[in-house]
A and B are shown apart, each in its own frame.
Chain A
């Protein structure tokens, strides 16, 4: 990791590839980023950012319990992720407390439960890797599970791509023409829980919500077409995770944080310079010169 060794861009890129853990990290993080980016378009348009935050934090006790019982951690995470949303819905309906308050208190409650469980269940669970991610130390069984979940989410989102878009845009119309809105709601939630699970390996539970909203928000500033938005979102997510891992390798930084920071920088760039919706409205500026 000597700084003087990347005098050329070539070695900056190729040197890390000589390490197996780096190849694996780059590949897996890109895959996870792509899946989260895909989902991100839907979540930002649906206005589910807070929901994403809630679900991603709530999976914590599920992961811990699953580890303790020797079950696939995705199963535990899924149950607690969807369970938290069900609980939020229930409390909201049965009390006068406002929704954002309910969301906040439910997910912090779940998260706290997870932390307490980790301290009680003396096992080989590494709290640090759950909280902050460990893309460089991902195990073979985790790789298999991650690939499986990613494929599942991509297939589901691809099949119901248009229905989900309609659901986000105008659920009332969807219902009126006989489309199962209930199913779509839970499909999106399921994908959210699954994406949170795979995302937490890359950047950890605390930051996974960034993977689920930042790429979508970036893409939203750059296009007026839904399909383009999805493509831009996926690409920006992949590029950020590559940049994040490389930078963390060369400068010895926390990997998860680097990935999210890269996403944030790309968002800021779009925020300032997006042709139509950027702060500087470059399109208008250039049109003025003509």
Chain B
């Protein structure tokens, strides 16, 4: 284990930069995550959280740096269904005419034939995933008729059905009910035990303390990265949020 082996890391992002038509969204960002690690991605709106996710999934191209997923390129990670992305509720057209079942089935598309005909195993994977997020009663419900929490769970089920080893979650706790929050927390523990790697963005500082082994504070670039207990300090948070005191963010009691 002396030699640096990429296989040790699920995600390895080295000095990555992303710009949109010359506007820099993210620069010199680094991240290394191993199996069974949960990392919180914390930053202001526009700090580059979604851009970071987009770079890791290959949805945007990086202009500089290197990303390795399980030691391989992003493209081969896409082919291997390695990464699952769970979008923010706002990032989805909730009026799209599609049922819970069909959304979760989309998690299987990448491993199906060109016509996307579900095999027995795909149907089973979808069933299991929907059961894990407790939506079995809503198989054919259009997503427009779901609550925010149920919709969140639908997309989580899609990620489960995909059998990805890396989960990227954009604001998994925003706009969800208590029941969903509890269910997601339980799933995180299960995912960790299964050896999955999780990167989640959040506004809620309490969740970071609760679940995240590691935390990545960003403001266009990495402000601080490391063990939550060491890095998640009021000073670092203040820097991340551009000088706003943590009192304001946490509320006076913390």
Contact = CB atoms under 8 A, between A and B. Distances in A.
Nearest to A93: B21
B89 to A, nearest CB: 12
A188 to B, nearest CB: 16
A166 B109 contact: yes
Given A159-B114, A162-B116, A179-B109, A172 B96 contact: no
B37 interface: no
B21 A175 contact: no
B96 A45 contact: yes
B44 interface: no
Q: Is the interface of B mostly helix, strand, loop or mixed?
A: mixed
Interface in B71-123: 75, 78-81, 83-85, 87, 91-93, 96-99, 102, 106-107, 109-110, 114-116
A48 interface: no
B180 to A, nearest CB: 20
Nearest to A166: B106
B109 A170 contact: no
Contacts of A225: 97-99, 142
Nearest to A178: B78
Nearest to A160: B114
Given A45-B96, A163-B116, A225-B99, A178 B81 contact: yes
A173 B99 contact: no
Contacts of B142: 224-225
A97 to B, nearest CB: 13
A176 B115 contact: no
A175 B21 CA distance: 21
Given A169-B96, A172-B54, A224-B97, A177 B87 contact: no
Nearest to A92: B21
B250 interface: no
A176 B99 contact: no
A226 interface: yes
A171 B96 CA distance: 13
Given A176-B84, A229-B97, A159 B57 contact: no
A229 B95 CA distance: 13
A171 B87 CA distance: 11
B92 A177 contact: no
Most buried by B among A172, A220, A228: A172
Among A162, A168, A172, A176, chain B packs the most CB atoms within 10 A around the CB of A176
A223 interface: yes
B148 interface: no
B6 interface: no
Contact of A175 (B78, B84, B162): B78
B110 A177 contact: yes
Contacts of B99: 224-225
B58 to A, nearest CB: 6
B81 A172 contact: no
A226 B97 contact: yes
Contacts of B84: 176
B151 interface: no
B109 A163 contact: yes
A159 B78 CA distance: 22
B20 to A, nearest CB: 9
B58 A170 contact: no
Contacts of B162: 177
A41 to B, nearest CB: 9
Given A173-B106, A225-B99, 11 more contacts: A45-B96, A163-B109, A172-B85, A172-B87, A175-B58, A175-B78, A177-B78, A177-B110, A178-B78, A178-B79, A226-B98
30 contacts: A45-B96, A162-B109, A166-B106, A166-B109, A169-B92, A169-B93, A169-B96, A170-B87, A170-B92, A172-B54, A172-B57, A172-B59, A172-B91, A173-B87, A173-B106, A175-B59, A176-B83, A177-B81, A177-B109, A177-B110, A177-B162, A178-B79, A178-B81, A178-B110, A179-B110, A220-B97, A223-B97, A224-B99, A224-B142, A225-B97
Interface of A: 45, 93, 159, 162-163, 165-166, 168-179, 220, 223-226, 228-229
